[in-house]
Amino acid sequence: MKNIFIGQAVTGMNIDYLRRETEKITNALMKIGYIVYSTIEKEGKNTFKRKGDWVLHAFEEINKNEIFLAIVRNEHRSEGMLIEIGYSLAKKKKIILAINENVKNTYLRDFADIIIEWKNIDDLIKKIEKLKPKK
C-alpha cells in the first residue's frame, strides 16, 4: 500500500462540487490500493487562525505520504497548492500531475513523475484506476 496526498485548488472553487469530485477520486485511488489523504475531507475538522497554518498542517501530512497527487482543473494558480508542490519536490516525494487537457500555461509538467491529462472527471477516474501502486 502506498500513501498519497491529494492537493488541489480550493479557494474560489464551488466547495460542494469539489467535495463530490474529490470523493470520486479518493474512492478510485482506494479501490486500487492507495491510502489517501485529502485536505477537502479534513477541511472543517481543523480550525486554524491563519491560512498559513493550513499549509503548515499540509506539510505535516505530506511528510506521511510517498506521493503527492496534484489535481489541476484550470489555469487558475493556487498559491497553497504551488507551495505544497514545492515542499513535496524538496522532500523528494513522487509527483503525479492530473491536469485537465485544456491547461496549457504551466510548467508543472516539467516536475511531474507521472502526468495524467484528462477531459472530464469520468476520464480522470478511468485513468486513475490504471495507476497500480507498487508494493
Domains, the chain, ordered by start: 2-128 (3.40.50.450)
What are the helix and strand counts (H, E) for the chain?
5, 5
First to last CA, the chain: 6
pLDDT of residue 39: 80
pLDDT digits (tens, 9 = 90+) for 8-56: 988 888 888 999 999 999 999 999 999 999 987 665 555 667 878 888 9
Q: What is the average pLDDT across 55-61?
A: 92
Q: Is 3 exposed, middle or buried (0-12, 13-18, 19+ CB in 10 A)?
A: middle
pLDDT of residue 44: 52
Query: CB neighbours of 99 closer than 8 A, spacing ≥ 6?
Result: 70, 72, 106, 108, 109, 115, 116, 117, 118
pLDDT digits (tens, 9 = 90+) for 81-131: 999 999 999 999 999 999 999 999 899 999 999 999 999 999 999 999 998
pLDDT of residue 42: 61
Q: Give one DSSP letter per residue of 41-67, joined into a string.
A: HHBTTB--SSHHHHHHHHHHHHHT-SE
**Percent of the chain predicted with pLDDT > 70:** 91
Distances (CA, A) of 82 to 45, 71, 74, 76, 131: 23, 11, 14, 11, 23
